[in-house]
Amino acid sequence: MAPERLKAPRGTFDVLPADGERRRSLRTAAERLLGGAGYAAFESPVFEDTALFARGVGESTDIVSKEMFTFEDQGGRSLTLRPEGTAGACRAYIEHGMHKRPAPVKLAYWGPFFRHEAPQAGRYRQFAQVGAEALGSDEPSLDAELILLLAELLEQAGVARLRLRLSSLGDAPTRAAYGEELRAHLRAREGELSEEVRARIDENPLRAFDSDHPGTRAVMDDAPLLVDHLGAADAEHFATVRALLDDAGLAYELDPTLVRGLDYYTRTVFEFESAALGAQRGVGGGGRYDGLVEQLGGPPTPGVGWAAGIERILLAAADGDEEPEADGPVYVAVAKPEAARRAFALARTLRPALDARVELEQAGRSLKGQLKHADRLGARAVVIVGDSIEVKDMSSGEQRTARDEHELLRLLAS
């Protein structure tokens, strides 16, 4: 009996070559953009102690209460595949004494994250995020800079029909006082609420803003709003962030009902959505988390950052035109078996000399088959290695003999 064929686990996917190339160019664009603003490459482990997320992201969040891939290692320690990157970045900041470095410490990352959610288009159990965090300064220019960098990245990636929602949650005491006021409002009209929201009044009243239950929505339409309760310093901070975005000409919508699914936020919060996506329209989001480092045992340290989903960026950009490769590769064809070693060496010489993609025949095709394959690859030229070395220009069809490597390079460069 033939062995059973295995498949990738539910909610995961393989990145096949065409997508791999799109991901690679997105990563290059992100690194260039973030690097240009001083965000240095940062990596943290794919798994961390479970306690990091419980304390950092919040026990009552969906992420921690329902969506974590948690397991015990051989030593009985509880580990979790990271569902997000901010808690790990703060853990590393504390662990490596980065508070002693000149502020702000700017970190950029790209890598896999894991959440046990119901899979659908744009929502996976393993997905990739690009992210940026700035630690050690509460300057509003960092909030604005980060929002503008994400806007630029999404625009460069060709993400269509974008909308930016922006709000401020104030500091922790403001949030706590507001939480009490909101709880009182919810309790006063408990009978109109959905069962889920009712069960969470104590734990997480803010989540009621996310509900699409009609009764709950009616209650929330009359709910007090946090932006009306900001203290003077928080209001001024938020006004400066908005002024910097206005100066940069970036459009946004003030949305006091914006609730992010993580507990660590203070002050600025934002989310980019694309109408090109279905139900999972959040392409990227983030905000300030001025209490998180301290909550994880570090010194009081403000921080701000964002993360964006690579798969969602590419899905939302999929409508756009595919970028054709500006210059096709050079193809090295083998005219007869005795020429294979020379062709192999030649391909290795040509790659650095031309600083271009050079493909080599590696599947035992006939010369005719090789020329057909080169055409399919969009090759601009084919180097035919046999008794002599010929260069065939694929657009004109013209074929010329190269007497030596020097002449070959000249012919390929022209």
Among 133, 143, 171, 234, binds ligand HAM (CB under 6 A): 133
Distance CA 218, CA 277 (A): 27
Residue nearest to ligand HAM (CB): 309
Can you say whether the dihedral through the CA atoms of 256, 241, 273, 175 is positive or negative? negative
Q: Does 200 bind ligand HAM (CB under 6 A)?
A: no
For CA atoms 395, 401, 404, 407, give the dihedral sign: negative
Q: In the bound complex, what is the minimum distance in angstroms from residue 367's beta carbon to ligand HAM?
A: 47
Q: Is 115 in the site for ligand HAM (CB under 6 A)?
A: yes
Burial class (CB in 10 A: 0-12, 13-18, 19+), 241: buried
In the complex with ligand HAM, the residue whose CB is nearer, 283 or 385, is: 283
Of the residues 58, 140, 205, 282, which one makes contact with ligand HAM according to CB under 6 A? 282
- Which range in 23-31, 36-44, 181-189, 309-317 contacts ligand HAM by CB under 6 A? 309-317
Question: The tokens of 280 are what?
Answer: 């999972």
> Residue 194 is encoded by which pair of tokens?
């959905």
Residue 253 in tokens = 């919508």
31 part of the interface to ligand HAM, by CB under 6 A = no
DSSP string, 207-224: GGGG---HHHHHHHHTS-
- Decide: is 261 part of the binding site for ligand HAM (CB under 6 A): yes
Number of residues that bind ligand HAM (CB under 6 A): 28
Binding segment toward ligand HAM, per CB under 6 A, in 21-29, 246-254, 307-315, 334-342? 307-315
CB of 332 vs ligand HAM, minimal distance in Å: 40
Q: Rule CB under 6 A: say whether 311 interacts with ligand HAM.
A: yes
Choice between 84 and 234, CB closer to ligand HAM: 84
Contact between 39 and ligand HAM (CB under 6 A)?
no
Q: Could you say whether residue 285 binds ligand HAM (CB under 6 A)?
A: yes
Between 103 and 177, CB nearer to ligand HAM? 103
Distance (Å, whole) CA 76 – CA 99: 32
Pick from 56, 104, 305, 328: which binds ligand HAM (CB under 6 A)? 305
Residue 86 binding ligand HAM, by CB under 6 A:
yes
Tell which one of 56, 85, 170, 302 touches ligand HAM (CB under 6 A): 85
278 half-sphere exposure, CB direction, 13 A CA radius: 5
Residue 131 as a binder of ligand HAM (CB under 6 A): the answer is: yes
For residue 134, give the nearest of 38, 2, 268, 245 by alpha carbon.
Answer: 38
What would the x/- binding string for ligand HAM be over residues 214 to 253, using CB under 6 A? ----------------------------------------
DSSP letter (8 states) at residue 12:
-
Contacts of 4 (CB under 8 A, 6+ apart): none
Q: Is 127 in the site for ligand HAM (CB under 6 A)?
A: yes
The verdict on 170 binding ligand HAM (CB under 6 A) reads no
Nearer to ligand HAM, 103 or 354 (CB): 103
CA proximity to 206, closest of 192, 68, 216, 214: 216
How far, in Å, are 166, 239, 244, 270, 304 from residue 144 at the CA level?
A: 11, 11, 6, 11, 10
| 277 lies in the site for ligand HAM, by CB under 6 A | no
Which C-beta is closer to ligand HAM: that of 129 or that of 216? 129
Verify binding: residue 307, ligand HAM, rule CB under 6 A. yes
Tokens of 149: 């960098």
Which of 53, 109, 124, 252 is close enough to bind ligand HAM by CB under 6 A? 124
| Integer angstrom CA distances of residue 97 from 25, 50, 380 | 33, 22, 53
DSSP string, 383-407: EEESSSEEEEETTT--EEEESSHHH
Amino acid at site 408: L
- Rounded to 5°, the CA angle 189-191-197 comes to 85
Q: For residue 123, state whether it binds ligand HAM (rule: CB under 6 A).
A: yes
What's the one-letter identity of residue 356?
A: A
Residue of 186, 193, 283, 383 that binds ligand HAM (CB under 6 A): 283
Give the β-pairing of 330-334 and 381-385: parallel
Q: Write out the two tokens for 351.
A: 């790659």
Q: Which stretch binds ligand HAM (CB under 6 A): 136-144, 152-160, 163-171, 282-290?
A: 282-290
Integer-rounded Cα Rg, in Å, for the chain is 27
Q: 104, 136, 309, 329: which one contacts ligand HAM (CB under 6 A)?
A: 309
Residues that bind ligand HAM (CB under 6 A): 84-86, 115, 117, 122-124, 127, 129, 131, 133, 261-262, 282-287, 289, 305-309, 311-312
